A and B are shown apart, each in its own frame.
Chain A
Amino acid sequence: MKMPIYMDNHATTQMDPRVLEAMMPYFTDIYGNAASRNHEFGWEAEKAVDKAREQIAALIGATPKEIVFTSGATESNNLAIKGIAEMYSERGNHIITQAIEHKAVLDTCKRLEKDGVRVTYLPVKTDGRIDLDQLRDAITDKTILISIMYANNEIGAVQPMKEISKIAKEKGILFHSDAVQAVGKIPVNVIADGIDVMSLTAHKLYGPKGVGALYVRRRNPRVQITAQMDGGGHERGMRSGTLNVPGIVGLGAACEIAHKEMAEESKKLQALRDRLKDKLTSALDEVYINGSWEHRLPHNLNISFNYVEGESLLMGINDIAVSSGSACTSATLEPSYVLKALGAGDDLAHSSIRFGLGRFNTEEEVDYVAAKVIDVVQKLRELSPLYEMAKEGIDLTKVSWVNH
């Protein structure tokens, strides 16, 4: 078993060696600019880019011309939301999103608010999914866009995409989804799911960092987006800038592998994830799963070990790479806004650990991680005044704490 063990696959993934292999020739041999129309170097690069468009389109049920390459999902989200707000500003100025979106969506919306766009941030239910009635109620005749992520990066909760898109269609509102955590992990199909604009990125699906794509629907309806980057008019005028050919080849290769292996891989990851969960919950009391169990990414486990602070737990399992919603692990000293939005209480956010399983994890690793976590949680509970009080039967919610 290779140490340390990586189980933080919602943050990023190890690049698949097959992806690297596909990319290699495009650094030193086939180095042309895909926009060079009059020589072999350019044609070869363009051919590679076109192949990648097909590979990506095949994975998500799109057509190749609907793929716009970007530098990653943050850019894709910015381009989608700002580009639609600008393009459709005469039709309306209201956007609906939700509280547990990634910051690339939330902060983009906050920026637009400064420019006079009105934004509704829907709350989520305790399972991390939006309430469809609240979505319906939030729609006004000025609503131009609904932006709801496919699956959440912390708790893995999968949103009811088909139901959301049905509501959007009925009202003639565009539907954007940040699908970075879902693409290549669970079946995503822009036709079946009714998505008009969708962000994805390579490094979450065993591809390279620094390259992503935005799916922009071309029919029923034809979506138009105002470019946010001015220049040579690449990508049908939606995103200027010389294409990152090796990165794009990598994204394409990663999508093709996912397309072929996803069905089997997701079963394997779900079995590993369930094994981890079963071991932890059978050995430890007062353990809570954060987010929907039913509507969840197969490789996600977000779990709170009550009475144990997340950073101290990470410190004890320092040969395992995972992350925590604890304030102490964030730059802002605030606990995870995603977990807070579930309404479970800040104390459970402080006690949370996110496990993100991936293609290269093994059963042996899962068993090691489970044993180690159980051992450290037990040790820290011996140290925890809260655990002691709870065992004495004291209701911690009724204690008047000395805040600081």
Chain B
Amino acid sequence: MAYSDKVLDHYNNPRNVGSMDKSSPYVGTGMVGAPECGDVMKLQVKVNPETGIIEDAKFKTFGCGSAIASSSLATEWLKGKTVDEALEIKNTDIVNELALPPVKIHCSVLAEDAIKAAIGDYKAKSGAVKRETVSVA
């Protein structure tokens, strides 16, 4: 199968690889997929609690080149967005940007799921933080 130049670029130079402290209240972590299915994505966002803006995003992916590219692209897009804007990223945006063929659409779906899971984790945590703040006050 021939890969698009953009997939190759993300595969050869993946952006924002790494991990952040998942116990931090400002870090949301999403992990989707399963090893027996051949892909697992871990995506993390670090949110500024004052502004609600995603200041940093990191990923690690076990999967094919298109899965790596989809998650790498997702971290690029997430930075600078608010958490609500981040939830508007659709898998079809990733498909179009990376020119993914039909058999690789599931990679983009997985990336969208990973974004939603990471934001969901952050929101759950920040809700908890607020409650703590309230109880302290």
Contacts and interface: CB of A to CB of B under 8 A. Distances in A.
A383 B68 contact: yes
For chain B, the bracket of interface size reads 20 to 34
Contacts of A385: 31, 40-42, 60-62
A384 B14 CA distance: 12
Interface stretch (A345-353, A354-362, A366-374): A345-353
A7 to B, nearest CB: 19
B44 to A, nearest CB: 10
A219 interface: no
B77 interface: no
Contacts of B62: 307-309, 383-387
B37 interface: yes
Interface stretch (B46-54, B105-113, B129-137): B105-113
A165 B31 CA distance: 52
A224 B65 CA distance: 51
Interface in B53-77: 60-65, 67-68
B63 A312 contact: yes
Interface of A: 307-309, 311-312, 315-316, 326-328, 333, 335, 345-347, 350, 382-388, 396, 401-404
Per DSSP, chain B at the interface is mixed
24 contacts: A307-B62, A308-B62, A309-B39, A309-B62, A312-B64, A315-B11, A327-B38, A328-B38, A328-B64, A346-B36, A346-B37, A347-B36, A347-B38, A350-B35, A383-B14, A383-B17, A383-B61, A384-B61, A385-B60, A385-B61, A386-B62, A387-B62, A402-B117, A404-B34
Given A311-B64, A312-B63, A382-B17, A350 B34 contact: no
A347 B35 CA distance: 5
Given A307-B62, A311-B64, A384-B62, A404 B32 contact: yes
Contacts of B103: 333
B33 interface: yes
A311 B36 contact: no
Nearest to B8: A315
B120 to A, nearest CB: 12
Contacts of B4: none
B33 A404 contact: yes
A387 B62 CA distance: 9
Contacts of A315: 3, 11, 64-65
B19 interface: yes
A401 B35 contact: yes
Nearest to A331: B103
Contacts of B40: 385-386, 401
A72 to B, nearest CB: 26
A403 B40 CA distance: 9
B56 to A, nearest CB: 17
Contact of A335 (B32, B38, B65): B38
Contacts of A347: 35-36, 38
Nearest to B113: A404
A312 to B, nearest CB: 5
A388 B31 CA distance: 13
A315 B40 CA distance: 18
B34 A403 contact: yes
Nearest to A346: B36
Contact of A384 (B11, B60, B106, B109): B60
Given A309-B62, A385-B62, 18 more contacts: A308-B62, A309-B38, A309-B63, A335-B38, A345-B36, A346-B35, A346-B36, A350-B35, A350-B38, A382-B17, A383-B60, A384-B60, A386-B35, A388-B19, A402-B32, A402-B34, A403-B33, A404-B32
B33 A401 contact: yes
Contacts of A404: 32-34, 37, 106, 109-110, 113
A326 B14 CA distance: 22
A395 to B, nearest CB: 12
Contacts of A335: 38
B65 A312 contact: yes
